[in-house]
Amino acid sequence: MSTSNPVVRWASFAPHLHAVLRIVTALLFMLAGTSKLFAFPVGMPPDGATATPWTQIWIGGGLEVFGGALVLIGLWTRPVAFVLAGEMAVAYFQFHAPGSFWPTVNGGVAAVLDCFIFLWLSAAGAGPWSVDALRRRS
C-alpha cells in the first residue's frame, strides 16, 4: 500500500488523535469539577450550590479539576489517569448504578466513558502532544 491510500493516511493521524482525545476528555472532566468546587459554569443541582468542603463530592471535584489539569497537559498521565478511572468507577457504582441498570437511565453515561477512557490512557500514556512526551525527549 502506498501512503496516498486514504486509509493509511488517516491511520497516520492516530497518535495526534490520541492526544486530542486526552485533551478534550480532560477539559470536559474539569468542567464537572469546576461545577462542584466553584459553581462554574453552573453549580450543582438542584440549587446551583458548590460542594461542602471535605465531603466526598468536594474531594471528587478536586480530583476532577486538578487531576483533569494534569491529564490535560499530559503530566504523569498514566498514574493520574489510573486514579481518575477508579474515581469514575466509584462514582458510577455509588451514585448512578443504584438508580437503574442502564447508564442512559441512571445518568451514568459520562462516568462510564470517562472511566474507560482514563483506564485506556493509564495504559497508553498521553500521546505526542504532552509534557510526558517532552520529558522523554530530554
Give per-residue pLDDT as tens, 99-128: 999 999 999 999 999 999 999 999 999 999
pLDDT of residue 106: 97
The pTM assigned to this predicted structure is: 0.92
What is the biggest distance separating any 2 CA atoms in the chain, rounded to whole angstroms?
Answer: 59
pLDDT of residue 53: 97
79: domain range? 6-137
**What's the rounded Cα separation, in Å, for the pair 128 and 20?**
10
**Strand, helix or coil for residue 49:** strand
Q: For the chain, which ranges sit under pLDDT 50?
A: none
**What's the rounded Cα separation, in Å, for the pair 77 and 68?**
10
Domain-embedded: residue 42? yes
Residue 8, C-beta contacts closer than 8 angstroms, at least 6 positions apart? 1, 2
Domain-embedded: residue 30? yes
Domain-embedded: residue 1? no
In total, how many domains does the chain have?
A: 1
Q: Give DSSP secondary structure letters for 3-54.
A: TTSHHHHHHTTHHHHHHHHHHHHHHHHHHHHHHHHH--SS-BTTTTBPPPTT
pLDDT of residue 3: 59
Cell digits of residue 51: 460542594
